[in-house]
Amino acid sequence: MAEQIRKALVTGGSRGIGAEISKRLAKDGFFVFVNYTSNKEKAIEVVDDISKSGGQAQAIQLDVSDFQAVEEVLGKLQKEMGPLDVLVNNAGITRDSLLIRMKPEDLDATLDIDLKGAIYCTKAVAKSMMKTRKGSIIQISSVVGEMGNPGQSAYAAAKAGLIGFTKSVAKEFASRGLRVNTVTPGYIQTDMTGALTEDQKEAILRSIPLGTLGEPQDIASLVSFLASDESRYITGQTIGVNGGMYM
Ligand code: NAP
């Protein structure tokens, strides 16, 4: 199996955008590794949904902010299953506060998971991907990393960091046939945005020319394209899916 079927790892695949990306990539014919950190039940639900639809998937527990664990778990995975074709660095958290009230532990958690986690996972899979001279790595950043947002300076720093990281490794990896791109979602309906108050949602809606929040499928469609050979001439790009909120 390892040689024939294309394989994709989606970090934070147990819920929200990552769950939808996992399902979409499975529909596209990938064997999908659905990563989660604590929510095993949700990850199994995603795997079961994929199996019921005739796809193939497996849940994988891994905290992407733990460098040793990333090296060990992804090293073992690639040894057993062969190199990955696609990595989607989607795992992310928000720990919002105004800068003057920011707690160092919240800054650390945000940078560790949202930025360093993506760097660790990219580092752990790139070498074996390079040997196959193909592969697509996709970072899920945020519109907030492009335009900034009061109360989200740590999150914005992490998400903007991903954009610079992507461009650098896109240049490093291009001659080896690997492509690396960043997707910057606007406001998408998931648990993450479920925490917003009605007033906050109203204000956000006023700033979106297309007039609605996005759905996880809107992100999954672009990831599906970036994972496929249809996008073979696209690398190092930052592509917004935000209803026109930031142009
Ligand atoms: P979500 O519903 O809160 O889901 C977050 C996912 O990340 C879960 O699967 C969670 O796993 C996983 N995760 C969290 N910490 C992790 C860790 N240390 N290691 C591995 N996995 C971890 O979030 P979402 O709204 O789908 O967001 C997905 C991505 O899109 C994030 O990077 C987010 O910043 C970005 N984004 C979202 C929006 C939006 O409007 N929703 C907008 C722009 C960008 P468990 O289930 O195990 O907790």
**pLDDT digit of tens for each residue in the chain (247 aa)?**
445 799 999 999 999 999 999 999 999 999 999 999 999 999 999 999 999 999 999 999 999 999 999 999 999 999 999 999 999 999 999 999 999 999 999 999 999 999 999 999 999 999 999 999 999 999 999 999 999 999 999 999 999 999 999 999 999 999 999 999 999 999 999 988 888 889 989 999 999 999 999 999 999 999 999 999 999 999 999 999 999 999 9
Q: How far apart are CA 245 and CA 123, in angstroms?
A: 32
Ligand 1 site, CB within 6 A = 11-12, 14-18, 35-39, 42, 63-65, 90-93, 113, 117, 140, 142, 185, 187-188, 190-193
**Mutation test residue for ligand 1: of 17, 33, 143, the one with most atoms within 8 Å of CB:** 17
Contact 241, 213 (CB under 8 A): no
Return the pLDDT at 229: 97
Strand partners, 61: 36
Return the pLDDT at 1: 47
Return the pLDDT at 194: 87
pTM of structure: 0.98
Return the pLDDT at 186: 97
Provide the annotated active-site residues.
155
Q: Whose CA is nearest to atom 12 of ligand 1?
A: 12
Task: Tell me how far the alpha carbon of residue 198 lies from the centroid of ligand 1, in angstroms.
Answer: 21
**Mutation test residue for ligand 1: of 15, 184, 187, 238, the one with most atoms within 8 Å of CB:** 15
SS3 50: helix
Buried b (16+ CB within 10 A) or exposed e, 24-46: bbbebebbbbbbbbebeebbebb
Which two three-digit tokens encode residue 71? 């090296």
